[in-house]
Chains A and B, each alone.
Chain A
Amino acid sequence: MSEPKNKRQKREDYRAALRANGVTELPRKKFYRQRAHANPFSDHSLIYPPTPEQMDWASLYPHYAVEEPIEQKTETTESEESTGQELSAPAIRKLTKQVEVADIGCGFGGLLIALAPVLPETLVLGLEIRVSVTQFVEDRIKALRVQNEEQKLYRNIAVLRANTMKFMPNFFNKGQLNKIFICFPDPHFKARKHKQRIVSTTLNSEYAYVLRPGGIVYTITDVPDLHEWMVGHFNAHPAFERVSVEEQEADPLVEIMRNETEEGKKVTRHNGQKHVALFRRLEDPQWPEDVSA
């Protein structure tokens, strides 16, 4: 039992070597495995901006950063009366456009990579709670960007470690997103774990908050009960309506979601079923006082 290197050591060596090489080759999954579940209720050592404005998007999408960092009014007046927002020392570089598509629980990033060439003009962000998996996707995107430098591909996708159940409003402003993908989420079979499901009455309100009216939530799962759960909860939510099957099948992204996610491929191998449901964000209702007036 005297292995020269244990798993962790190998893993670290591999990742270090990959970085040293400037990440030109695609990372190998076996060095990034992590247990499939993370507790969304615990305080992970997460990094998140206090407000969306303070998010450093330029480091995720360097090719879309505004050329010259906007000169912000830096601390010229350090008087005690702190009026207005305190500005952090290095001015945050802005992007020429905003992230409009989010893949919540992007896993190993299959969908992101498939979406990159299909939505070339849109910034797509993958969000994943597991550290190793996020690193894998990060390295994967880096490698792809290098490999496809001439075609300028994969510059519009990025990944971020985040707990969306808690911190989505820290990243996105109201109505910023156009599409949200929720692909093969953790089913959480036990009834007492249902609060951990990524779709719930209360979380749907947050999805409605970050989505603009007309925006679409894409869901797919191989667990029929979870499918029913998601459909039930989105249908019951006043801010969403289900997209008709014809429209759903006409959407080219649905086919990508079916076949390009890692989990989708696995389900295909096992001849499993895939349940798709799309939901459209409706306009907010009028205030009751305005209706009566």
Chain B
Amino acid sequence: MALPYHVLKVCDGIVFAARGSNIHSFDSNFNPISVWKYPVKQQETNGEKAESETPAPVVEAEESPAPEGPPVKKRKVEDGEVVAVTEENKEESKEDTTEGQTETKTESQTQEVNRRSRRQKQKQKTEGGWAKNNKAVLEKPFVQGMYLTTDGRHLVAITGSDKTIWVFEHDGAGNLKQLSQRAMPKRPCALALTPDDKTILSADKFGDVFSLPLLFTPAEPTAAADVTTTASEVATPEPTPSAPATPAIPTPPTTDVAKAQSLSVKPQANELTVHTLRNLKALENQKRCLERQKAAKLAAALQASQFEHTLQLGHVSMLTSVAVAVHPSHPGRTYIITADRDEHIRVSRGIPQAHVIEGFLLGHDEFVSRVCIPEARRDVLISGGGDDDLFMWDWVSGKLLGKAPVLAEVKKALPSAEDAEKVTKVAVTRIFDVQQGAKTQIFVICERIPLLLIFTLTSTNTLQHTQTLSLLGNPLDVEYLKAESKLLVSIDPNTSSETQEEEASNGGVSSILALSFDDSESSWKVTIGGLKATEAAEEESSSLSPQDLQKLLYTTESLRKTNKDDE
């Protein structure tokens, strides 16, 4: 299975393209510059650990060196098992791939891993179940998004199942240097950067938006580690969550500890709120249990904030898109715009007043998956998702300016009536704006639809459909190479039609298409000089089955609500 480049980002003349878990960089002619590889664990140790883990977790816990913090990282693998990786192995492989790892950095990573493994332990039960139902779980999580600072000097990326935000320094020539890796409490769905490039806003699956400093200095590592050891020594002879236990599959004792940990130190009910004898007994038990866990809790509290992240706002719904906007009428005011699965687009004030909700953009009937504020028309917001139309808003007043049909255009453009019949709904995955002289062009792609829809945003605030371009495979992402006036569209080569397979044998399939604007016909055309699939294919292809890969690449349609018949 060849992996497509599923996320693109352009920085001046440099193209960053994420492929699976790795980030490749190219120059404007698609000559490869460098690759950042997701730190991999080694296969042998993986198996070895998996075997030794199950029988005696307690013994293992004592053997591992405590002062370094638990050197264990759990990650979901394909069978739904949680496999432990020792930190040394991880670092070894990391040094192979990334240069310039400083000592402090690895230490801070150890700390993070420490935190994460604990959190995962608390969640092991649920995650195990989740993994069982989702075969498409990777040893290496896919890159979910890439974001650039306005000066182009930093690239921020999010990876999926490990919930991590990565910050890279970009030297301007396509080389990335990893600066930090931060695992968020919940999976980030989208990021935005504040105009001053100092803060990352991370919108997560649980509906919260956290702010993080772009560049962060790790907390004093030694002090925290010392506290951990003393606390775990004092606490109990059993393996406490802070002790470096290595079990892959949760054994009953550890799970219990983890469960107890999740309770707060104070019992929440009291004798007056509990009315039955049995519950009273349970309450007493709970109190006793909590007493025992107090020391462990203390350590946990000390460990809790390894890096600074502040809750700015939240929805009770999965977030899908976040943007930081400045309205032309008040250049000093920044807004945070968040979109969720429950049809809402919320306009809040920017930091430090993010608690003030200025308004909502209401009108969508299905999930919202993307919002786009065109660079040249910052007073307008275009949103799309599971609805048949794109919505256009005056976002500061909350007024709907108009709609533009997506489903109808898709149906029109599909070659056969049969195909058009089959498509009954669309899920917009990207809305991308390109300023072309005085014209604001909006490019839209939908999940599993091999078309590129092109609209023009007129000065009278209407979205006019100008062109539909047929593609040879499903588009995954769109970016614009300004210097060359080229539009880049990444294609999933696995979905190409037969005609393209013929081409493939001639080495002609493109995994990234380049489009340019033909002035004489005033339409966009595919030009020669995209990135050929064959060039990319020489690298290792994934062990994923086609179905699993599809599940990872096409996630937007799954946001649609289906179980609408419950009580």
Contacts and interface: CB of A to CB of B under 8 A. Distances in A.
A285 B263 contact: no
A43 interface: yes
B355 A289 contact: no
Nearest to A45: B564
Interface string A281-293: 0001101110001
Nearest to A34: B567
B275 interface: yes
A239 B349 CA distance: 13
Contacts of B566: 42-45
B222 interface: no
B262 A270 contact: no
Interface string A184-210: 000101111001000011111110110
Interface string B460-495: 001000000000000000000000000000000000
A81 B355 CA distance: 37
A6 interface: no
B163 interface: no
B363 A85 contact: yes
A289 B342 contact: no
A191 B362 CA distance: 33
Given A45-B565, A191-B262, A202-B207, A223 B364 contact: no
Interface residues of B, number: 53
Nearest to A210: B357
A190 B403 CA distance: 45
Interface string A121-155: 00000000001000000000000000000000000
Interface stretch (A14-22, A68-76, A161-169): A161-169
A174 B534 CA distance: 56
A240 B140 CA distance: 45
B315 interface: yes
A51 B403 contact: no
B403 A82 contact: yes
Contacts of B462: 81, 83
A225 interface: yes
A209 B313 CA distance: 13
B81 interface: no
Contact of A170 (B264, B314, B362): B362
A237 B355 contact: yes
B316 A225 contact: no
Interface string A254-293: 0000000000000000111100000000001101110001
A214 interface: no
A103 interface: no
Nearest to B460: A83
A50 interface: yes
Contacts of B270: 224
Interface in B186-231: 206-208
Interface in B341-374: 342-344, 346, 348-349, 352-353, 355-357, 359-360, 362-365
B206 A43 contact: no
Contacts of B403: 82, 86
A206 B400 CA distance: 21
A161 B114 CA distance: 44
Given A165-B316, A270-B272, A287-B353, A191 B359 contact: no
Nearest to A49: B362
B273 to A, nearest CB: 5
B353 A50 contact: no
B206 A195 contact: yes
Nearest to B316: A165
A100 interface: no
A284 B357 CA distance: 10
B405 to A, nearest CB: 8
B460 to A, nearest CB: 9
Contacts, number: 127
B263 A190 contact: yes
A287 B358 CA distance: 12
- Report the interface size class on chain A: 35 or more
A192 B123 CA distance: 10
Nearest to A80: B405
Interface in B212-270: 262-264, 266, 268-270
A287 B268 contact: no
B400 A85 contact: yes
B402 interface: yes
Nearest to A224: B270
B268 A50 contact: no
A192 B357 contact: no
Nearest to A46: B564
Nearest to B312: A202
Contact of A205 (B269, B275, B356, B402): B356
A169 B344 contact: yes
A287 to B, nearest CB: 5
A43 B564 contact: yes
A202 B316 CA distance: 9
Interface in A217-272: 222-226, 237-239, 270-272
Given A131-B567, A202-B315, A50 B400 contact: no
Contacts of A82: 389, 402-404
B203 to A, nearest CB: 12
A90 interface: no
B332 interface: yes
A144 B359 CA distance: 37
B316 A189 contact: no
Contacts of B43: none
A206 B362 CA distance: 15
A272 B272 CA distance: 6
Contacts of B333: 287, 289
Contacts of B565: 45
Given A190-B262, A191-B264, A271-B272, A284 B356 contact: yes
A284 B462 CA distance: 34
Contacts of A167: 342
B272 A84 contact: no
B342 A51 contact: no
A131 B565 CA distance: 12
A192 B264 CA distance: 10
B312 to A, nearest CB: 9
B316 A223 contact: no
A258 to B, nearest CB: 16
Contacts of A209: 357
B400 A289 contact: no
Interface in B551-567: 561, 563-567
A40 B317 CA distance: 10
Contact of B353 (A52, A131, A201, A285): A285
A289 B353 CA distance: 12
A264 to B, nearest CB: 14
Nearest to B352: A288
Given A41-B316, A189-B269, A238-B355, A202 B311 contact: yes
B278 interface: no
Contacts of B262: 190-192
Nearest to A41: B316
A135 B139 CA distance: 49
21 contacts: A42-B563, A44-B567, A45-B565, A50-B362, A50-B363, A86-B403, A131-B567, A167-B342, A174-B357, A192-B122, A202-B316, A205-B313, A222-B273, A225-B264, A225-B269, A239-B355, A270-B275, A287-B330, A287-B349, A289-B330, A293-B332
Closest 4 CB pairs of A and B: A202-B314, A289-B332, A209-B357, A165-B316
